[in-house]
Copies of this chain bind each other. A is one copy, B any other.
Amino acid sequence: MTAEQLFGEIIRKKSFLCVGLDPEMAKLPRHLLHEEFPVFEFNRRIIDATHDLVVAFKPNVAFYECLGTAGWRQLELTVDHIRRNYPGIMVIADAKRADIGNTSRKYAETFYEHLNCDAVTVAPYMGSDSVLPFLDYAGKWVILLALTSNKGAEDFQMLASRKNEHVFESVLKKSLNWGNSNNMMYVIGATKAANLVKVREIVPDHFLLIPGVGAQGGDLAEVAGYGLNSRCGLIVNSSRAIIYADSSDRFAAAAREKAREVQQQMGEVLGLRFGV
């Protein structure tokens, strides 16, 4: 998927919403627990109920791995379901992987080839040769962690260097040499919207994946105000606030209502900016 195609989807759906598929067994509606693949059945209903309101789905791999082989099977089924039924939707493996070169290559194989995802989140700590193998796939995306939305982001990402820039700024600058705005995005925590100004100075053209709108806090208008660029340039993720909107047998309808609320706010923002 190209940046242009993604922008096309955003305009068509009047949405830059990504729904995070982070299913926890303990939070699944009870009537699904007798299914052979309860996690997949949960995801499938969420996907079917929200697909026209979103441009991306983002399963976080941790929630599948912790179920062992059954978890991986249900991750495969989930990605497959999106691929077959909603081919225009971006599938982001939220995996936060990276390792030495030959090992990162295996991770890239896992998420791009085996699982057929469009994008994978990558951790920058190990530097260039840990990220580059993920960029060897035409049409696929690296979403590099830059400034995350959690409290611990202060610990190292916000360290000031001798050049008087934060480590997350160094990550943005260095990585400009590795990829471009057609194969790299950045994770930027919405809880630090003021930092979006700094981010946009360094990467004006790139898409940003913004977590933390919803359960983690964060304000859509502020994010849009500082983050929008000429191709929208934003994908805003919401996980728990949408998928756990209701725990009864009408959870999928409730998820749709929550997604619809966010999508409508996004529609207004996009209308003002792009006249759609």
Report A's interface with B, CB cutoff 8 A: 22, 24, 60, 62-63, 65-69, 72-73, 76, 94, 96-101, 103-104, 106-107, 109-110, 114-115, 123-131, 145, 148-157, 159-162, 164, 167, 170-171, 174, 216
Nearest first, the 8 A-B pairs at minimum CB distance are: A127-B152, A127-B155, A62-B106, A128-B152, A129-B152, A66-B110, A100-B150, A125-B125
Q: How many copies does the complex hold?
A: 2
Contact B162 A66 (CB under 8 A): no
Contact B98 A149 (CB under 8 A): no
Q: How far is the CA of A123 from the CA of B131 in the complex (A)?
A: 14
Contact B107 A65 (CB under 8 A): yes
List the B side residues contacting A63 at CB < 8 Å. Answer: 103, 106
Contact B66 A69 (CB under 8 A): no
List the B side residues contacting A154 at CB < 8 Å. Answer: 127
Contact B124 A125 (CB under 8 A): yes
Contact A156 B129 (CB under 8 A): no
Q: How far is the CA of A171 from the CA of B126 in the complex (A)?
A: 13
Contact B127 A151 (CB under 8 A): yes
List the B side residues contacting A107 at CB < 8 Å. Answer: 62, 65-66
Return the chain B residue nearest A67 by Cβ: B114
List the B side residues contacting A151 at CB < 8 Å. Answer: 127-129
Q: How far is the CA of A67 from the CA of B110 in the complex (A)?
A: 7
List the B side residues contacting A150 at CB < 8 Å. Answer: 100-101, 126-127, 129-130
Closest beta carbon of chain B to A209's beta carbon, Å: 14
List the B side residues contacting A127 at CB < 8 Å. Answer: 150-157
Contact A152 B130 (CB under 8 A): yes
- Contact (A76, B65) CB under 8 Å given A127-B151, A167-B167: no
Q: Which of B94, B148, B164, B174 contacts A155 (CB 8 A)?
A: B174
Closest beta carbon of chain B to A128's beta carbon, Å: 4
Closest beta carbon of chain B to A167's beta carbon, Å: 6
> Can you list 19 A-B pairs, Cβ within 8 angstroms, ordered by A?
A60-B103, A65-B72, A65-B107, A66-B109, A66-B110, A66-B114, A68-B115, A124-B125, A124-B155, A125-B156, A127-B153, A127-B157, A128-B151, A128-B155, A129-B151, A129-B152, A130-B150, A161-B161, A161-B162
List the B side residues contacting A73 at CB < 8 Å. Answer: 69
Closest beta carbon of chain B to A64's beta carbon, Å: 9
Q: How far is the CA of A62 from the CA of B110 in the complex (A)?
A: 8
- Contact (A167, B157) CB under 8 Å given A62-B106, A66-B106, A100-B150: no
